[in-house]
């Protein structure tokens, strides 16, 4: 249903009257009407007496956004620009630089430049930190705010200031924006016999991309394939159906995730279909503090079914589902409508997924004194988990009895900087060797 906002006092009065006379009226309807009347009075005073002229529609939009943002960090009003950005993110095409990024230690960190894009041609590298965008300091911004600055019209230049570990000082790089076709899934071969699949975001191509990547890996490695690393680090999430599709690809049966709304009847369950694209080979899932939402659904599903070993650090902890409800052709609201639960019935809201094996990724020396990454529990107005941290930890330990805390791997050498990936490859190698010994006996 489409609803249109009418930026006038009469519209607010009509809304108040309608609300007061609906069948939802309760014993406190008089108080609710009084508050509506206060809202109208404030609106009128601002419009007539504020020091500068204020646009009516902007005031109404601000009121709507204030109402929604007071609920939780993920509910919000979406104007034309926000709707357009959401469509670009889910479709995987927009004008920009061509880099996969995350937010780390208050700065934008480049995960990897996308092949044949302006960023790759300009020489940006994985591990680079962006400290300024067109002279504006990044520290203190949210990731969406930084992304908004980096996106723009095709052909427009942008200057980013780069901090690189091996360089003595930050330096500027000017890049010309171009149309970017985002590949949410990339793959390669590690150690000659381990498939590596990275999912940068859960856009509409994530599920099919994982299946194509697995087919390519099998074709390249053949019968020597020892296992698969599924890298979800820095993945902020995306579409629920794509999280289900990726989980389903590695599961042969069972529940992937359930979502539960406000009412007892508002429960949806998503189940896996027959077929495991990895044919039962070991799967290791990498997560970190920036793995959120859809990433946590996948990690939680594979962990609960003992189909994948989760390695890394505690995930972000966003265990809620947002529904986009259109208001008009160019506006909508993003409303939190449900919580999601792992197949074990656990809500990871606020706390996140606990890895089976915790492996810390050392920080660069110059960033060791910066604050730790912010998680869902650090966000204002975040929804609380129904269980205490102690109760949740006990249940997660029951579901993941192989939990071990370690920060060392046999592959920790000066040549290997990605300790988490090194540990994952080691684990797959060890499992593969064990299987070969069992087969020989």
Q: Catalytic residues, which ones? A: 293, 318, 322
Rounded to 5°, the CA angle 433-438-441 comes to: 125
Structural Rg of the chain based on CA atoms: 24
Supply the DSSP string of 351-414, one letter for each residue: T-PPPSEE---PPPGGGTTSPPPP-GGGSTTPPPPSS-HHHHHHHHHHH-TT-EE----TT-ST
DSSP label at residue 222:
G
Q: Round to whole Å and give the CA distance between 361 and 9.
A: 55
Tokens of 59: 């005031």
> For residue 292, what are its two tokens?
């959120």
Quick one: which of 180, 157, 172, 174 has its CA closest to 99? 180
Distance between CA atoms of 193 and 432, rounded to whole angstroms? 10
For 94, the enclosing helix (H) or strand (E) is strand 93-96
Is residue 98 a contact partner of residue 113, using CB atoms and an 8 Å limit?
yes
186 beta partners: 198
For residue 352, which phi and psi values (nearest 5 degrees)? 90, -175
Distance between CA atoms of residues 91 and 204, nearest Å: 6
* Rounded-to-integer distance, Cα 89 and Cα 143, Å: 13
For residue 149, the SS3 value is helix
Which of these, 204, 220, 72, 97, lies nearest to 158 by C-alpha position?
Answer: 97
């Amino acid at each position: 249903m489409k609803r249109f906002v009418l930026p006038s006092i009469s519209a607010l009065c009509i809304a108040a009257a309608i609300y007061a006379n609906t069948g939802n009226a309760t014993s406190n309807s008089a108080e609710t009407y009084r508050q509506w009347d206060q809202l109208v009075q404030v609106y009128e005073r601002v419009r007539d007496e504020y020091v500068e002229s204020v646009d009516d529609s902007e005031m109404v939009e601000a009121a709507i956004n204030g109402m929604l943002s007071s609920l939780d960090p993920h509910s919000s009003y979406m104007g034309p620009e926000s709707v357009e950005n959401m469509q670009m993110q889910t479709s995987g095409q927009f004008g920009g630089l061509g880099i996969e990024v995350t937010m780390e230690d208050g700065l934008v960190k480049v995960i990897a430049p996308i092949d044949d894009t302006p960023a790759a041609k300009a020489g940006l590298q994985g591990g680079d930190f962006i400290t300024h965008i067109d002279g504006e300091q990044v520290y203190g911004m949210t990731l969406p705010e930084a992304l908004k600055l980096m996106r723009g019209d095709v052909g427009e230049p942008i200057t980013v200031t780069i901090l690189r570990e091996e360089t003595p000082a930050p330096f500027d790089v000017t890049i010309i924006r171009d149309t970017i076709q985002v590949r949410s899934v990339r793959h390669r071969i590690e150690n000659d016999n381990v498939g590596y699949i990275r999912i940068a975001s859960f856009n509409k191509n994530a599920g099919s991309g994982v299946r194509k990547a697995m087919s390519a890996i099998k074709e390249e490695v053949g019968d020597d394939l020892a296992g698969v690393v599924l890298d979800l680090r820095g993945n902020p999430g995306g579409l629920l159906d794509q999280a289900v599709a990726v989980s389903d690809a590695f599961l042969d049966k069972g529940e992937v995730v359930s979502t539960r709304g406000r009412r007892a009847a508002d429960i949806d369950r998503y189940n896996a279909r027959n077929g495991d694209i990895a044919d039962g080979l070991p799967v290791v899932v990498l997560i970190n503090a920036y793995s959120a939402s859809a990433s946590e659904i996948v990690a939680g599903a594979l962990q609960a079914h003992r189909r994948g070993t989760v390695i890394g650090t505690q995930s972000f902890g966003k265990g809620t589902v947002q529904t986009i409800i259109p208001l008009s052709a160019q506006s909508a609201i993003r409303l939190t409508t449900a919580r999601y639960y792992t197949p074990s019935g656990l809500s990871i809201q606020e706390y996140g997924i606990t890895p089976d094996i915790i492996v810390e990724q050392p920080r660069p020396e110059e960033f060791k004194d910066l604050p730790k990454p912010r998680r869902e529990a650090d966000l204002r107005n975040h929804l609380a988990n129904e269980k205490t941290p102690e109760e949740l930890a006990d249940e997660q330990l029951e579901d993941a009895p192989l939990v071990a805390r370690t920060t060392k791997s046999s592959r920790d050498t000066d040549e290997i900087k990605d300790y988490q990936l090194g540990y994952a490859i080691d684990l797959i190698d060890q499992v593969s060797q064990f299987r070969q010994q069992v087969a020989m006996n």
